Amino acid sequence: MSIQNILCVGAGYVGGPSMAVIADQCPEITVRVVDINPERVAQWNSDTLPVYEPGLDAIVQRCRGRNLFFESPTPDHVNAADMVFVSVNTPTKSFGHGSGQAADLQYWESTARWLRPHLKRGAIVVEKSTVPVKTAEAIATILHYDRPEQDIAVLSNPEFLAEGTAIRDLEQPDRVLIGHGDSPADQAAAQALADVYAHWVPREQILFSSVWSSELAKLAANALLAQRITSMNTLTALCERTNADISQIADAVGHDKRIGPRFLQAGVGFGGSCFRKDILNLAYLCEQEGLNVEAAYWRSVVLLNDHQTDRFARMIVEKQFNSVAGKRVVIFGFAFKPGTNDTRDAPAIRVCRSLLEERAKLVITDPQALEHARQDLAGLAGGITFEPDPYRAAAGAHAIALVTEWPEFAALDYARIYAGMEKPAFLFDGRNLLDAAALHGLGFNVYPLGRRARTHL
Ligand code: UDX
Ligand code: ADP
């Protein structure tokens, strides 16, 4: 089966970049990305894309209007499609049964209901968002209602891209995973999807599994990564008390080939749209199966992550003589990690809330995420200023709290910053980005995480 027309429903962080790369790598395939939010569509058609990803602009420039289109959804889109990727949002439920834990599948379900009457025979529907185990089955039930099963194949194809490196991850993925059913039609559909990826991904990196395993593998990968970061974070407090250095520990354990060096960077806690959501989802699935001990294990990762963020916020208050009321505290970095404007579940939100409760005057600076920061903190009481220039942000400040390790922050002139700050000047490095000894030499009282503090007090 040869795919000529691809439709993607949902032009978000997953749908937009992944379809742009497919369009770029497969010039003979027409890719249409639709979104119910007309503003999103307009942004994708403008010079300022709604998603900030290094390398994305160039690809969109190359392909948009050639074989890549961003549009508002119509039944004709569905009719024309050989393959439909669904990458609508699947946030954590905020109401009813499973609130705060289970995935909210209303967008997925309404998409399936909308697609069903318009899909042509032999169409392939690909589940592209992170969704809990057995969703594909539920979606297939909706799609197959009233229609013979062989009419529409449902595949699971989880996206493993990380934000900030989305284009590299899409162009050179560690693996592509395709979950499919046993029928000949399902197997042919899986092959057709593999053929799309084979335009640029070596065949041996395209893995096949059952639909359930594919869905669960996505949750498992994120849960393992988050748990690994959390394991390192739990060691930071011990390091601070015993004068060990968490970076040296990461280096030492990372040299063990069985462990490997990546994702061992301790910090204020993980954020982003996936880790917390997926772990809570996994815990919920365990509980649904009566696996309470397993559920508690995974849930503890989220609890410890919040604990680490709170510990950092408490440190900022405690070290400044137990009070930040009325003090100007500058937050260096609001995005959940560098290289993105995304602030979903960013630890900075939790840190800011905590400091506002302590009546600090906050100044937020971030190279990309100030607009989102403004939305995230809207309605919170207290003084908050948003300042793109880190030098202006730090002028007159009592303390700097580095929450996101943007390389820009490492390149600043800290002598200049120190000169403009209130004294004693405090610097809390929540990502161990900066050279603590050098900053201490300039006069700062420096508090890294998982390393000894360097103070003049
Ligand atoms: C993650 C997965 O990596 C990706 O495979 C999946 O598809 C989506 O979820 P993402 O959320 O974009 O990607 O970012 P990631 O790079 O994994 O970082 C997540 C969080 O962990 C960030 O807040 C980051 O600061 C933190 N982190 C990461 C650490 O604290 N230490 C590390 O060593 C690595
Ligand atoms: P993700 O990180 O999973 O890509 P986003 O929230 O960034 O999530 O993007 C999901 C997109 O899906 C949003 O732009 C939203 O407007 C869109 N969306 C949700 N429901 C539908 C639907 N029924 N039809 C089309 N687009 C939808």
Q: Are residues 142 and 261 in the same domain?
A: no
* Mean per-residue pLDDT, 398-425: 98
Burial of 1 (0-12, 13-18, 19+ CB in 10 A): middle
The response to whether residue 273 sits with its C-beta less than 6 Å from ligand 2 reads yes
Boundaries of domain holding 337: 210-457
Q: What is the number of domains present in the chain?
A: 2
The response to whether residue 111 sits with its C-beta less than 6 Å from ligand 2 reads yes
Q: Are residues 442 and 316 in the same domain?
A: yes
C-alpha of residue 37 to centroid of ligand 2, in Å = 8
Last-in-domain residue among 166, 183, 209: 209
Q: What is the pLDDT of residue 93?
A: 78
> How far, in Å, CA of 282 to CA of 274, rounded?
12
Q: Are residues 170 and 248 in the same domain?
A: no
Q: Is the pLDDT of residue 147 over 80?
A: no
Q: Are residues 179 and 286 in the same domain?
A: no
Q: Are residues 214 and 317 in the same domain?
A: yes
- Cα 72 to the center of its chain, rounded Å: 25
Residue length of the chain: 457
Q: Out of 8, 274, 286, 352, which one is annotated catalytic?
A: 274
Q: Is the pLDDT of residue 46 over 80?
A: yes
The response to whether residue 36 sits with its C-beta less than 6 Å from ligand 2 reads yes
Task: Determine what percent of the chain is predicted with pLDDT higher than 90.
Answer: 86
Q: pTM value? A: 0.91
> How far, in Å, CA of 272 to CA of 418, rounded?
31
Start-to-end CA distance of the chain, whole Å, equals 72
Q: Is the pLDDT of residue 130 over 70?
A: no
> How far, in Å, CA of 364 to CA of 371, rounded?
11
The response to whether residue 161 sits with its C-beta less than 6 Å from ligand 1 reads yes
Provide the pLDDT confidence category of residue 52 given band limits of 50, 70 and 90: confident
> How far, in Å, CA of 211 to CA of 127, rounded?
10
The response to whether residue 219 sits with its C-beta less than 6 Å from ligand 1 reads no
Q: Is the pLDDT of residue 92 over 90?
A: no
Burial of 342 (0-12, 13-18, 19+ CB in 10 A): buried
Does the CA dihedral 34-36-39-40 come out positive or negative? negative
Q: Is the pLDDT of residue 391 over 90?
A: yes
With residues binned 3-state (H G I as helix, E B as strand, rest as coil), the percentages for the chain, rounded to 5, are 45, 15, 40
Reduced to 3 states, what is the DSSP secondary structure of residue 275?
A: helix
The response to whether residue 126 sits with its C-beta less than 6 Å from ligand 2 reads no
Distances 287 to 108, 225, 281, 282 between C-alpha atoms, Å? 23, 21, 10, 9
Q: What is the pLDDT of residue 144?
A: 85
Last-in-domain residue among 164, 183, 209: 209
Q: Is the pLDDT of residue 373 over 90?
A: yes
Q: Are residues 64 and 17 in the same domain?
A: yes
C-alpha of residue 427 to centroid of ligand 1, in Å = 24
- Residue of 229, 235, 306, 432 best suited for mutating to test ligand 1, as the one with most atoms within 8 Å of CB: 229
Q: Are residues 165 and 303 in the same domain?
A: no
The 3-class secondary structure across 92-126, one letter per residue, is ECCCCCCCCCCECCHHHHHHHHHHHHHCCCCEEEE
* Among the bound ligands, the one closest to the CA of 405: 1
Cis peptide before 424 (omega within 30 of 0): yes
Q: Are residues 122 and 204 in the same domain?
A: yes
Last-in-domain residue among 181, 209, 237: 209
Q: Are residues 241 and 173 in the same domain?
A: no
Q: Are residues 85 and 204 in the same domain?
A: yes
Residue closest by Cα to atom 6 of ligand 2:
89
The response to whether residue 11 sits with its C-beta less than 6 Å from ligand 2 reads yes
Provide the pLDDT confidence category of residue 308 given band limits of 50, 70 and 90: very high
> How far, in Å, CA of 415 to CA of 412, rounded?
9
Q: Tell me the per-residue pLDDT of 315-325, one tens digit each, with 9 for 90 and over.
A: 999 999 999 99
Provide the pLDDT confidence category of residue 150 given band limits of 50, 70 and 90: confident
Q: Is the pLDDT of residue 129 over 80?
A: no
CATH number at residue 420: 3.40.50.720
Q: Are residues 270 and 196 in the same domain?
A: no
C-alpha of residue 174 to centroid of ligand 1, in Å = 15
Provide the pLDDT confidence category of residue 215 given band limits of 50, 70 and 90: very high
Task: Determine what percent of the chain is predicted with pLDDT higher than 70.
Answer: 99
8 included as an active-site residue: no
Where are the alpha helices (H) located in 148-273, listed in sequence order?
166-171, 184-197, 211-242, 246-254
Q: Are residues 268 and 198 in the same domain?
A: no
C-alpha of residue 225 to centroid of ligand 1, in Å = 8
Q: Is the pLDDT of residue 268 over 90?
A: yes
